[in-house]
């Protein structure tokens, strides 16, 4: 077995079934080793960034290792954005890159880029293999580091080393068991319980770290009469249809959350890395639960930190909590939530004869089959999905959370479809985000991956227009020059439909969701609709007015 054979065997043993990338140059022996076995498939994408995003999305959805590959130099460089997506969202991904022959190292040879140096910031394990005897040891370390550290590992394989025989392929076997389910010590649990037992207006901010423990979080909420606010990626866990779930947080979130966080007397952060601390209440006791001690107090001053798997921590904590008899705070939160839901439902009514993005997001969710996995791109489209896409129990949702990268949607749909071939996949994307990696729609066709890509087509970088105008700048360079995305889909061998009339929407969604081939539903939406944040400052309103005046004056010139 050569270095690549050993590595691939290790990946297969770790449960990896797909490696995404572009073959060629210094990774030919790696792809050849994949060809010679049958556990792992090589998925040939058109752009390495697609491969990295697909691996990241798989890792986020499954919790298992995602793998992507790029050749020395340009191929490796293209992986970076998807790798940062994995790093930021704590997803285990292994990147394998090629390198020039070791005798060429340091000579500025063609495609010689110091990828270990380049990946230094993104990777928690980052190693060039310069001697076949490093295997299988470094292969195992890389896999374990990514899984245990929930981040990116990188192995850089010089061409000459990749084909060399590994003298002792079985010599190393690191006894490895993922550290799952640590529990905090009893004394800390008591301190947390005492604090929580003294408060009657408790708000829970829950993140994706609650995955698998949603029922326990709901049970906790019921005991404490505490409303649950969710961070964006936890939208799949805490649907607003549940009486304790009162909406999202942040600029894309709900007004009810702002009100509740403004009135609570204790904040309980559970499995969340929500970054916008402006939305978190200051000066009240805060208890945080997180699987990683390094996350405790990262975003907010915390009085008690409980480190461990959410489910285990709640099992340890709940027996010490008193059931709250008064539910005034919960009732207040639920009333605020109902009011917000009524407000946003009104926004889904078509006006001016055009399709509203709110209406599109709403109906896209209502019409989606029960097994749907939604993936979402970055832009105003994220706000429409966050607020208006109804997610039912059993459906899934993911997004480029902390990195908030455009172009994630289509690659994530590809990664999701490979991981869950029997489920429906629906990507909600902006026209700008889709344009970035739309070449890989052909990859979905090539691998026969039925999926629906819904383009929220406002012919512009809508989110950037809002950013500019809310800072007093006139709208500048935000228009997109788009081809007809539905025709593009057909040219790729898939199917597509362009619509602009609200009445066409239900029929078009049904056609898209039932398509046996990848489908682009290109929806011309009303570009005037903008997602208004739940907290708007007077300064922003004034700036917005100034920007509109500047735009009018510019138009007259």
Ligand X SMILES: Cc1ncc(C[n+]2csc(CCOP(=O)(O)OP(=O)(O)O)c2C)c(N)n1
- Distance CA(229)–CA(214), nearest Å, equals 13
Give the pairing of strands 66-70 and 41-44.
unpaired
- Tell the smallest beta-carbon distance from residue 211 to ligand X (Å): 25
- Distance CA(333)–CA(353), nearest Å, equals 35
- Tell the smallest beta-carbon distance from residue 407 to Mg ion (Å): 13
Give yes or no for residue 381 binding ligand X (CB under 6 A): yes
406 binds, among ligand X, Mg ion, none (CB under 5 to 8 A by kind): ligand X
For ligand X, the closer CB: 93 or 289: 93
Among 7, 129, 460, 522, binds ligand X (CB under 6 A): 460
Among 432, 496, 518, 533, binds ligand X (CB under 6 A): 432
372 binds, among ligand X, Mg ion, none (CB under 5 to 8 A by kind): none
- Tell the smallest beta-carbon distance from residue 410 to Mg ion (Å): 15
Give yes or no for residue 427 binding ligand X (CB under 6 A): no
- Tell the smallest beta-carbon distance from residue 115 to ligand X (Å): 21
Asked whether 295 and 170 are in contact (CB, 8 A), the reply is: no
Residues in Cβ contact with 405 at an 8 Å cutoff, skipping those fewer than 6 apart: 53, 81, 84, 85, 378
Among 397, 456, 513, 544, binds ligand X (CB under 6 A): 456
Give yes or no for residue 458 binding ligand X (CB under 6 A): yes
Stretch that binds ligand X, among 3-11, 93-101, 302-310, 456-464 (CB under 6 A): 456-464
Asked whether 51 and 441 are in contact (CB, 8 A), the reply is: no
For ligand X, the closer CB: 386 or 505: 386
Asked whether 73 and 113 are in contact (CB, 8 A), the reply is: yes
- Tell the smallest beta-carbon distance from residue 350 to Mg ion (Å): 19
Q: Which residues of 73-92 are buried (b: 16+ CB within 10 A; e: fewer)?
A: bebbbbbbbbbbbbbbbbbb
For ligand X, the closer CB: 236 or 377: 377
Give the SS3 label for residue 307.
strand
DSSP states of 418-468: HH-TTS-EEEEEEHHHHHHHGGGHHHHHHTT---EEEEEE-SB-HHHHHHH
Give yes or no for residue 458 binding Mg ion (CB under 5 A): yes
Give yes or no for residue 365 binding ligand X (CB under 6 A): no
Give yes or no for residue 29 binding ligand X (CB under 6 A): no
- Tell the smallest beta-carbon distance from residue 479 to Mg ion (Å): 10
- Distance CA(158)–CA(494), nearest Å, equals 38
Of 502, 465, 492, the C-alpha closest to 352 is: 502
Q: Which residue is nearest to Mg ion (CB)?
A: 430
Cα–Cα distances (Å) from 51 to 13, 166, 331, in that order, read 21, 28, 46
Of 73, 85, 98, 81, the C-alpha closest to 155 is: 98
Of 456, 455, 454, 474, the C-alpha closest to 464 is: 474
Stretch that binds ligand X, among 122-130, 194-202, 377-385, 538-546 (CB under 6 A): 377-385
Give yes or no for residue 431 binding Mg ion (CB under 5 A): yes
Stretch that binds Mg ion, among 126-134, 274-282, 454-462, 528-536 (CB under 5 A): 454-462
- Which residue in this structure is represented by tokens 């788009």? 482
Q: Which of residues 256-285 bind ligand X (CB under 6 A)?
A: none
Give yes or no for residue 440 binding Mg ion (CB under 5 A): no
- Tell the smallest beta-carbon distance from residue 468 to Mg ion (Å): 14
433 binds, among ligand X, Mg ion, none (CB under 5 to 8 A by kind): ligand X
Of 320, 235, 227, the C-alpha closest to 268 is: 227
253 binds, among ligand X, Mg ion, none (CB under 5 to 8 A by kind): none
Give yes or no for residue 310 binding Mg ion (CB under 5 A): no
- Distance CA(49)–CA(82), nearest Å, equals 6
For ligand X, the closer CB: 119 or 434: 434
Stretch that binds ligand X, among 270-278, 364-372, 425-433, 482-490 (CB under 6 A): 425-433
- Tell the smallest beta-carbon distance from residue 469 to ligand X (Å): 13
Three-class SS of 458-481:
CCECHHHHHHHHCCCCCCCCCECC
Give yes or no for residue 475 binding Mg ion (CB under 5 A): no
**The pair of three-digit structure tokens given for residue 493, joined into one six-digit string:** 């061998």
> Count residues contacting ligand X (CB under 6 A)?
20
For Mg ion, the closer CB: 132 or 462: 462
Strands (E), 12-92: 18-21, 41-44, 66-70
For ligand X, the closer CB: 261 or 466: 466
Give yes or no for residue 534 binding ligand X (CB under 6 A): no
Q: Is 394 left (phi over 0), alpha (psi -120 to 50) or beta?
A: left
Give yes or no for residue 430 binding ligand X (CB under 6 A): yes
What residues line the site for ligand X (CB under 6 A)? 377-381, 404-407, 430-433, 456, 458, 460-464
């Amino acid at each position: 077995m050569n270095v690549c054979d050993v590595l691939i065997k290790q990946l297969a043993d770790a449960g990896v079934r797909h490696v995404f990338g572009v073959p060629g140059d210094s990774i030919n022996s790696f792809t050849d080793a994949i060809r010679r076995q049958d556990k792992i498939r090589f998925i040939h994408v058109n752009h390495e960034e697609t491969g990295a995003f697909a691996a990241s999305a798989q890792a986020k959805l499954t919790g298992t290792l995602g793998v992507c590959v790029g050749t020395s130099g340009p191929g490796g460089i293209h992986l970076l954005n998807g790798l940062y997506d994995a790093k930021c969202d704590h997803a285990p991904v292994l990147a394998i890159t090629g390198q020039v022959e070791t005798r060429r190292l340091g000579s500025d040879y063609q495609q010689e880029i110091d990828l270990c140096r380049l990946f230094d910031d993104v990777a928690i394990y980052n190693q060039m293999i310069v001697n076949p005897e490093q295997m299988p040891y470094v292969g195992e370390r890389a896999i374990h580091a990514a899984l245990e550290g929930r981040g990116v590992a990188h192995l850089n394989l010089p061409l000459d080393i990749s084909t060399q025989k590994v003298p002792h392929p079985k010599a190393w076997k690191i006894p490895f068991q993922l550290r799952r389910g640590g529990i905090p010590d009893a004394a800390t649990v008591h301190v947390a319980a005492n604090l929580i037992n003294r408060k009657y207006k408790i708000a829970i901010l829950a993140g994706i770290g609650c995955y698998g423990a949603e029922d326990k979080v709901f049970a906790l909420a019921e005991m404490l009469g505490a409303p649950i606010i969710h961070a964006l990626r936890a939208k799949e866990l805490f649907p607003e249809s549940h009486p304790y779930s009162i909406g999202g947080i942040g600029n894309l979130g709900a007004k009810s959350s702002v009100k509740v966080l403004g009135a609570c007397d204790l904040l309980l952060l559970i499995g969340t890395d929500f970054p916008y601390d402006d939305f978190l209440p200051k000066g009240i006791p805060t208890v945080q639960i997180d699987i990683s001690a390094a996350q405790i107090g990262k975003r907010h001053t915390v009085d008690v930190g409980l480190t461990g798997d959410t489910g285990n921590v709640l099992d340890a904590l709940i027996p010490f909590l008193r059931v709250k008899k008064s539910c005034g705070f919960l009732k207040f939160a639920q009333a605020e939530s109902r009011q917000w839901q009524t407000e946003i439902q009104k926004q889904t009514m078509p006006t001016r004869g055009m399709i509203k993005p709110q209406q599109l997001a709403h109906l896209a969710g209502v019409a989606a089959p029960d097994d749907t996995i939604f993936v979402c791109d970055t832009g105003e489209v994220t706000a429409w999905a966050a607020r208006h896409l109804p997610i039912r129990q059993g459906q899934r949702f993911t997004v480029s959370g902390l990195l908030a990268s455009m172009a994630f949607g289509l690659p994530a749909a590809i990664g999701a479809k490979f991981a869950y071939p029997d489920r429906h996949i629906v990507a909600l994307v902006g026209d700008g985000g889709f344009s970035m990696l739309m070449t890989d729609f052909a990859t979905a066709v090539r691998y026969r991956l039925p999926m629906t890509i819904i383009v929220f087509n406002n012919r512009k970088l809508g989110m950037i227009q809002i950013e500019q105008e809310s800072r007093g700048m006139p709208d500048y360079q935000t228009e997109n020059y788009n081809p007809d995305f539905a025709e593009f889909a057909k040219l790729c061998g898939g199917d597509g439909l362009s619509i602009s009339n609200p009445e066409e929407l239900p029929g078009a969604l049904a056609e898209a969701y039932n398509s046996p081939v990848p489908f682009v539903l290109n929806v011309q939406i009303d570009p005037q609709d903008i997602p208004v944040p739940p907290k708007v400052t007077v300064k922003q309103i004034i700036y917005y007015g100034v920007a509109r005046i500047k735009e009018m004056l510019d138009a007259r010139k």
